[in-house]
Amino acid sequence: MPSALITGATAGIGAAFARRLAADGFSLVLVARDEKRLRSSAEELRLRYGVEAEVLPADLTAEDGLTAVEERLRGGIDLLVNNAGFGHPGAFLEVPVADELRMLKLHCEAVLRLTLAALPGMKERDRGAVINVASVAAFFTRGTYSASKAWVVNFSESAAAELAGSRVRVMALCPGFVRTEFHDRASMDTSGIPGFLWLSAGDVVDAAMRDLALGTWVSVPDLRYKAIVAVGRLIPSSVAGRISGRLGRR
Ligand SMILES: NC(=O)c1ccc[n+]([C@@H]2O[C@H](COP(=O)([O-])OP(=O)(O)OC[C@H]3O[C@@H](n4cnc5c(N)ncnc54)[C@H](OP(=O)(O)O)[C@@H]3O)[C@@H](O)[C@H]2O)c1
C-alpha cells in the first residue's frame, strides 16, 4: 500500500487530498496543529475508505513540529503534499514583520526542509513524488504571500529539473481562488471576487493528480486560471499588481 503525508490535512485543499488519496488506496499521515480535529479526520477516513490514517500533530512554524515531521518522512513516504499555508488580511506594509516571518517559515522553510527530508528515500527507491501547493498568486505581485509562493514554484521546478531522468517527481500546484477556510481564517473580504473564479477543492486535487501522472512540473488547475497565468506572465508586473490588488488575495 503506497503512503502519503499531507500537511494541513484537516481543512480545504489538504482535506480534499486526504479524501482523494484514501480513495486511491494510500495509507495516510495527516499533519496539522489541531490534534482533536486531526483525530476525527483520521477516523472518518478510516471508516469511509478502510485505509490506515496516522495523525501527526505539529506546528510547522515551530522547530519541534518541523523536526518531528522531517523524522517521519525519513522513515519512508511515497507521496508528500506540502499544503499547509495561510494568508494575511492587510496590505504589505500593514502586516507585522513577525507574521511575515511566520509565513516565510511555513511557506518556504517547511516546504524546503520537508522536501529535503523526503527526497533521499524516494531517490534511493527510484519512485515517489512531492506536490508543493503554491498559488496563482505566484505569478502576480502581492506582498510576501505571492513572493513566498513564487519561491515555491521556482524551488519545485529546480528540484524537478534535478530529478529529470529518475522516476521521482516534484510538482508545484498553483490553484486560483478555492472555497476553503483560508479567506475566513485570514479575515479577508472576498466580496470583490466574481463567482465564476471560485474552484472546488476536490476539482483542484483531481486536476493535480492528473498533472502529476503526466509529469507536469507546474500544475495550474482549470482553463480560466491557465489563461490568467498566461496573461500575468506577459503583462508588466506593475499592471498585474494593480489587477490582483482589486480582486484581493489568493
Ligand atoms: N483557498 C485558496 O483560495 C487558495 C488558493 C491558492 C493557494 N492556496 C494554498 O493552498 C494551501 C491550503 O490552503 P486552504 O485554502 O486549504 O486553507 P485552509 O482551509 O485554511 O486549511 C489550512 C490547513 O493548514 C493547516 N495549518 C495552518 N497553519 C499550520 C501550521 N503552522 N502548521 C501545520 N498546519 C497548519 C490547518 O490546520 P490547523 O489550523 O489545525 O493547523 C489546515 O488544515 C495553502 O498553502 C494556501 O496558500 C489556497
* Domain architecture of the chain: domains with CATH: 3-247 (3.40.50.720)
The Å distance, Cα 206 to ligand 1 centre, comes to 18
* Nearest by Cα to 250 from 169, 152, 143: 143
Q: What is the pLDDT of residues 20-55, one digit of tens each?
A: 999 999 999 999 999 999 999 999 999 999 999 999
pLDDT band of residue 248 (cuts 50, 70, 90) is: low
Reply yes or no on whether the pLDDT at 237 is more than 90.
no
Write the residue with the smallest CA distance to atom 23 of ligand 1: 8
Instruction: Specify whether the CB–CB gap between 249 and 88 falls below 8 A.
Output: yes
Our answer on whether the CB atom of 248 is closer than 6 Å to any ligand 1 atom is no
Taking only the tens place, the pLDDT of each residue in 123-132 is 999 999 999 9
Q: Give CA–CA dist 25/20, Å, rounded.
A: 9
Left (φ > 0), alpha (ψ -120 to 50) or beta: where does 117 sit?
A: alpha
